């Protein structure tokens, strides 16, 4: 799968690309390309944004700048999905992540400041996604969230069993994961539930199902 991210801050992705599971699937399952709007802007002095018509605070990513970036990479608006990352978009959830992971090519556009000139969303993008009902300062973190969530679903990204019993997985009926514990078995008087150290795998399994259902019902 090819994922292209357009951003004002390509270097922000340096940390993410070194982390597993993304690092494990980069170059095999995922080809991640980062493009900076400033590298292709048609405006002087690396300008990419401008004040809103009608007044108001802040600056908007210009439509000619976003179009030039897409032209430089694809020779126009590509056939595949081009997603604007915006708090006004369709909420991201695991179902949407699975849908995105099914695409062969995906382009993510991020903005900063006051956001996008609306024509970027209406004429250059196929759809818009929000990572949650809150406003961040830029689309870089949202793009990383989308890329990381997609990476986890790629073959070879995780140890064989781990994604199967994860929160939102069909194995947990779409619910949340059961509580998990590791050593020590007791710390400050806080004990791990006896069932987990019983060695009785059938009891452990049904305890986990019960716990997952109870948590999911809350």
Ligand X SMILES: C[S@@+](CC[C@H](N)C(=O)[O-])C[C@H]1O[C@@H](n2cnc3c(N)ncnc32)[C@H](O)[C@@H]1O
> Which one of 14-22, 73-81, 110-118, 205-213 is the stretch in contact with ligand X (CB under 6 A)?
110-118
* Residue 83 touching ligand X (CB under 6 A): no
Cβ of residue 134: shortest distance to ligand X, in angstroms?
Answer: 6
**Residues 133-152, mask of contacts with ligand X (x by CB under 6 A):** -xxxxxx--x----------
SS3 sequence of the chain = CEEEEEECCHHHHHHHHHCCCHHHHECCCEEEEEEEHHHHCCCHHHCCEECCCCCCCCCEECHHHHHHHHHHHHCCCCCCEEEEEEEEEEECCHHHHHHHHCCCEEEEECCECCEECHHHHHHHCCEEEECCCCCCCECHHHHHHHHHHHHHCCCCCCCCCHHHHCCCCHHHCCCCCCCCCCCCCEECCEECCHHHHCCCHHHHHHHHHHHHHHHHHC
Cβ of residue 136: shortest distance to ligand X, in angstroms?
Answer: 4
Cβ of residue 198: shortest distance to ligand X, in angstroms?
Answer: 44
Q: Which is nearer to ligand X, 25 or 146 (CB)?
A: 146
Considering only 114, 148, 166, 171, the residue that binds ligand X (CB under 6 A) is 114
Place of tokens 């109870």: 214
Considering only 86, 107, 154, 211, the residue that binds ligand X (CB under 6 A) is 86
Q: Which is nearer to ligand X, 10 or 138 (CB)?
A: 138
Question: Apex CA 132: angle with CA 163 and CA 54, to 5°?
Answer: 150
* Residue 21 touching ligand X (CB under 6 A): no
Q: Which is nearer to ligand X, 130 or 154 (CB)?
A: 130
Q: Which position's Cβ is nearest ligand X? A: 139
Applying CB under 6 A, the site for ligand X has a residue count of: 20
Cβ of residue 111: shortest distance to ligand X, in angstroms?
Answer: 3
Give per-residue burial for 70-98: e unless 16+ CB within 10 Å, then b.
beeeeeeeeeebbbbbbbebeebeeebbe
Q: Which is nearer to ligand X, 60 or 68 (CB)?
A: 60
For residue 191 the two structure tokens come to: 């004990």
* Residue 88 touching ligand X (CB under 6 A): yes
Cβ of residue 196: shortest distance to ligand X, in angstroms?
Answer: 37
Q: Which is nearer to ligand X, 128 or 151 (CB)?
A: 128
* Residue ranges binding ligand X (CB under 6 A): 85-88, 110-112, 114-116, 130-132, 134-139, 142
């Amino acid at each position: 799968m090819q994922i292209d991210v357009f951003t004002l801050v390509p270097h922000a992705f340096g940390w993410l690309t070194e982390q597993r599971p993304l690092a494990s699937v980069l170059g095999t399952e995922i080809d991640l390309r980062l493009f900076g709007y400033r590298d292709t802007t048609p405006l002087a002095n690396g300008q990419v944004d401008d004040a809103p018509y009608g007044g108001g605070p802040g600056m908007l990513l210009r439509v000619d700048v976003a179009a030039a970036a897409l032209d430089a990479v694809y020779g126009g608006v590509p056939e595949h999905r081009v997603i604007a990352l915006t708090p006004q978009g369709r909420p991201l959830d695991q179902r949407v992540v699975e849908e995105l992971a099914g695409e062969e090519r995906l382009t993510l556009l991020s903005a900063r400041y006051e956001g996008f000139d609306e024509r970027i969303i209406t004429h250059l993008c196929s759809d818009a996604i929000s990572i949650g009902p809150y406003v961040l300062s830029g689309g870089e973190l949202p793009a990383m969230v989308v890329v990381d969530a997609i990476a986890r679903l790629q073959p070879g990204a995780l140890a064989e069993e781990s994604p199967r019993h994860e929160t939102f997985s069909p194995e947990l009926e779409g619910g949340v994961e059961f509580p998990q514990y590791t050593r020590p078995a007791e710390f400050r008087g806080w004990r791990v539930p006896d069932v987990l150290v019983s060695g009785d795998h059938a009891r452990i399994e049904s305890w986990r199902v019960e716990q997952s259902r109870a948590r999911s019902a809350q």
